[in-house]
Amino acid sequence: LSDVTILLTAILSLIGSCEAIVTHLETVTADFIDRLITQVQALVDGQLLVGIESLLSSINKEAASRKSSSASTRSHGDPQLQYLLRINTRYTNKGEPLGALMIQRLLLKLLEHTCYISCQTTKHEQLGFLPLKGFKDRFSILSPTVLFGISELAESQIGSIEASADFLKFKTSPHQDLSLSLKATSLRLACITFICGYEVNINLPSVIKSILVDPTQMAHDDLGPACLDSLAAISMNCHEHASDLNRSLRNYIIHAHDPHSTNLSARVCIAAKRLAWCLSTISNDKIVSTLYSLVNVLTSAPSSTNERGATSLQPRTALSLINFDHRTVASSISLSLKTEDQRQQVFSNVVEAIAEIVYELKDEKIAELMISLLGQKFGRVNDGVDKSLVWGLAKISTIVKEKDYKRILKLHAKVRLDPATANTALTETVLSLFRSMLTIDHGCSSVHG
């Protein structure tokens, strides 16, 4: 067997076996994770990975020279090698080139899965990074040696990806998806050890904040949620980082934009849900002040361009209901937006996030307050906001009592009939909303009737 045949066969075999272990491993013996860490450390050794990449690049160069000349190559006359090289090309075209990054990702995923299995308290519980409730206690079961080993591994992986960050900004790179996926796994592992008290040499909150402001990384299906989950986990478990990280999360929700992304709305909802978890570990006042500052973003449009004249809200009655001191309300967030599209994206994010937070908290008084605040925004900002408000209130309506549900319906009716807000597009939105509401098992049959 030639060198490349040995290498590619071993990588393919590793892919298959790691997939099987992740799918079928249900319990682990006491020393399995210990020995696994030692093996993983040996397999992701820098020199070994450089050797693998250099061998693969030499064969790629040969393949390129074969195209340009009739020079003989290693694969000439070796059907097995030719077959493996074709497979290698197929994997590369799929965005999963067989090589160092693939090996790193496989092994770190395997380690992550083993970690979750080791810390599983009941057999039927969901297996993964979430839930964040009881997070520290759950992962503190791991031995100090294991936690130290994981922290070293995660740190080295994040460090190596950060070192090639410029190169990975290009979406055309076949390595981009692999490396961002590896970064997601490493981030979750680093977060586990960080919360369990094993400080890594990298500044994890800073790494998380740098991902948060990079739309390319946040748009990644694995890294985006991993970043939001890690942020929430640290905020909820390490109180010294809570206010800084919560502020970053709130800013992400407001400013999240990516014209090329199709999953931005889903990402904002994930972020809002995590913000709700983080705030609920602090206090009700904090929840309300954050929601209030988000609502006030909707009035941030310059009055010169806003014929409807946005006004600042003072919902004293509602605030007094939950014993909230309105003097502590956060100041409105300054927006420096360039285009109308960006402004509209901010408004859409904010309404979506408020609805998600209220839905997640399921607190009647907070829901009542937000219905009052959002209701006052109808017809005050622009048509786009009115449409977002309809959908936002619809989401909130699924958790409120009949009395508040009727209030929302009245608001919707007012929007449709009031000359200041009524327009065809909004009426269509409300009608489609009512149609979708009829499918919700709300338990308010008299209202539906």
Partner 1 sequence: LLYEQYAPILQEILIAGDIDMEDTPSRQLGYSLAKTALQIGSLSPKLKVQSQALLIDYLEKVRRAFMDAIAYEGLRS
Q: Tell me if 6 contacts partner 1 by CB under 8 A.
A: yes
* Between 25 and 417, CB nearer to partner 1: 25
Asked if residue 185 lies in contact with residue 112, where contact means CB atoms within 8 angstroms, the answer is yes
Between the alpha carbon of residue 98 and those of residues 11, 33, 289, the distances in Å are: 7, 26, 50
* Between 13 and 328, CB nearer to partner 1: 13
The b-or-e profile of 316-353 (16+ CB within 10 A means b, else e) is eebbeebebeeeebbebbeeeeeeeeebbbbbbbbbbb
Size of the site for partner 1 (CB under 8 A): 40
Q: How far, rounded to the nearest angstrom, does the alpha carbon of residue 366 sit from its chain's CA centroid?
A: 25
Neighbours of 62 (CB within 10 A): 17
Of residues 272 through 301, those in contact with partner 1 by CB under 8 A are none
Q: Tell me if 238 contacts partner 1 by CB under 8 A.
A: no
Stretch that binds partner 1, among 46-54, 158-166, 226-234, 293-301 (CB under 8 A): 46-54
User: Which x/- pattern over 60-79 shows residues binding partner 1 (rule: CB under 8 A)?
Assistant: --------------------
Stretch that binds partner 1, among 9-17, 173-181, 210-218, 430-438 (CB under 8 A): 9-17
Q: Tell me if 52 contacts partner 1 by CB under 8 A.
A: yes
Q: Tell me if 28 contacts partner 1 by CB under 8 A.
A: yes
Stretch that binds partner 1, among 27-35, 127-135, 336-344, 420-428 (CB under 8 A): 27-35
* Between 6 and 431, CB nearer to partner 1: 6
Structure tokens at 363: 């607190």
Asked if residue 274 lies in contact with residue 228, where contact means CB atoms within 8 angstroms, the answer is yes
Least Å distance, CB 16 to partner 1, is 3
Half-sphere exposure of 50 (CA within 13 A, CB side): 4
Asked if residue 114 lies in contact with residue 25, where contact means CB atoms within 8 angstroms, the answer is yes
User: Helix, strand, coil: what percent of the chain each, to 5?
Assistant: 70, 0, 30
* Between 20 and 213, CB nearer to partner 1: 20
Q: Tell me if 127 contacts partner 1 by CB under 8 A.
A: no
* Between 47 and 121, CB nearer to partner 1: 47
Q: How far, rounded to the nearest angstrom, does the alpha carbon of residue 117 sit from its chain's CA centroid?
A: 23
Stretch that binds partner 1, among 44-52, 152-160, 174-182, 234-242 (CB under 8 A): 44-52
CA 131 – CA 274 distance, rounded (Å)? 11
Q: DSSP letter string over 19-38?
A: HHHHHH-----TTHHHHHHH
Q: How many residues does the chain have?
A: 449
Q: Tell me if 51 contacts partner 1 by CB under 8 A.
A: yes
* Between 178 and 396, CB nearer to partner 1: 178
Question: How far apart are the two ends of the chain, measured CA to CA in Å?
Answer: 75
Stretch that binds partner 1, among 49-57, 161-169, 249-257, 433-441 (CB under 8 A): 49-57
* Between 63 and 202, CB nearer to partner 1: 63
Q: Tell me if 42 contacts partner 1 by CB under 8 A.
A: yes
Q: Tell me if 115 contacts partner 1 by CB under 8 A.
A: no
49 burial class (0-12, 13-18, 19+ CB within 10 angstroms)?
middle
Least Å distance, CB 14 to partner 1, is 5
Asked if residue 408 lies in contact with residue 392, where contact means CB atoms within 8 angstroms, the answer is no
Least Å distance, CB 116 to partner 1, is 16
CA 292 – CA 376 distance, rounded (Å)? 13
Q: Which residues bind partner 1 (CB under 8 A)?
A: 2-4, 6-10, 12-21, 23-29, 32, 35-36, 39-40, 42-43, 48, 51-52, 54-55, 58, 84, 87
